[in-house]
Amino acid sequence: EAGVVQSPRYKIIEKKQPVAFWCNPISGHNTLYWYLQNLGQGPELLIRYENEEAVDDSQLPKDRFSAERLKGVDSTLKIQPAELGDSAVYLCASSLGTGQAFFGQGTRLTVV
Amino acid sequence: TQLLEQSPQFLSIQEGENLTVYCNSSSVFSSLQWYRQEPGEGPVLLVTVVTGGEVKKLKRLTFQFGDARKDSSLHITAAQPGDTGLYLCAGRISSGSARQLTFGSGTQLTVLP
């Protein structure tokens, strides 16, 4: 069975440019998470979806970040415009309710 | 303020030594998980503990959940270079947003051959 798939794996952009990340969760998993992880630190939750509904987005910087999960399956996370401080790894995870969360390999974003 | 505090933040030891990593909080957790993450990969679940005082063993790794379900520890016996990685604890709180999975600050372990 395929795991959580994220793309791209790496992205380098100039500051003020837009960027988007894509996540395909494990089939059947209704809960989807987006996390931000700085080097050597623990992941920090940005947004959590239950099916297509964003049920926890309190940590999402809404002035520049947006996310969507149309049809309750795939999800995209967008940053516009990107800032230097947004450089990090963006992790997507999925689970069946409060069951085990499975993580993708992440997208490493570098803003120059 | 970090909900889950891990210590130490960095740990470098020789192969064959034992070590313990701690995860502490002032909040009560309905469950607590330990993950291991290697460079360029996402975290991979090692164990889930749900009962206060619970002890689980996974080969050379021993996980303990505190009686009050506010803290946990990971003990590795006879560490090997393959144990090198970032160890993360993560918990679901007992009230409020129980479905939210909150991570600790991480412990970077390096085992030298």
Instruction: For chain B, 113 residues long, give each residue's pLDDT as a single digit of tens.
Output: 568 999 999 999 999 999 999 999 998 998 899 999 999 999 999 999 999 999 999 999 999 999 999 999 999 999 999 999 999 999 987 665 556 788 999 999 999 99
CB contact under 8 A, B101 and A33: yes
Closest chain A CA to residue B105: A42
Cα B18 to Cα B11: distance, rounded to the nearest angstrom:
11
8-67 in chain A: CB under 8 A from chain B: 31, 33, 35, 40-45, 48, 50, 55-56
- Write the CA distances from B83 to A42, A54, B37, B38, integer angstroms: 18, 36, 10, 10
Cα A27 to Cα B45: distance, rounded to the nearest angstrom:
19
Please give, rounded to a whole number of angstroms, the shortest distance from the CA of A63 to a CA of chain B. Answer: 22
Query: B78 with B60: CB under 8 angstroms?
Result: yes
pLDDT of the residue at B98: 56
pLDDT of the residue at A1: 63
Query: A97 with B35: CB under 8 angstroms?
Result: no
pLDDT of the residue at A100: 87
Strands of chain A (E only): list them.
Answer: 5-7, 10-13, 19-24, 31-37, 44-50, 53-56, 65-68, 75-79, 88-95, 102-103, 107-111
Closest chain A CA to residue B5: A42
CB contact under 8 A, B6 and A42: yes
Which of chain B's residues have a Cβ under 8 Å away from the Cβ of A105? Answer: 40-42
Q: Give me the DSSP letters along B1-59.
A: --SSEEE-SEEEEETT--EEEEEE-SS-EEEEEEEEE-TTS--EEEEEE-STT-EEEET
Which of chain A's residues have a Cβ under 8 Å away from the Cβ of B105? Answer: 41-42
Q: Please classify residue B64 by burial: count the beta carbons closer than 10 Å to its beta carbon, then call 0-12 exposed, 13-18 middle and 19+ buried.
A: middle
CB contact under 8 A, B108 and A40: yes
The count of residues in chain B is 113
Tokens of B94: 């007992």
Give the contacts of B79 (CB within 8 A, at least 6 positions apart): B13, B15, B16, B17, B18, B19, B60, B109, B111
Closest chain A CA to residue B101: A45
Tokens of A31: 């809960």
CB contact under 8 A, B106 and A4: no
pLDDT of the residue at B93: 78
pLDDT of the residue at A102: 94
- Write the CA distances from A92 to A12, A36, B28, integer angstroms: 19, 9, 26
- Residue A47 has phi, psi (to 5 degrees) of -160, 145
Q: How many CB atoms lie within 10 A of CB A103?
A: 24
Q: How many CB atoms lie within 10 A of CB A112?
A: 10
Quick: pLDDT tens for A39-81: 889 999 999 999 999 988 988 999 999 999 988 899 999 999 9
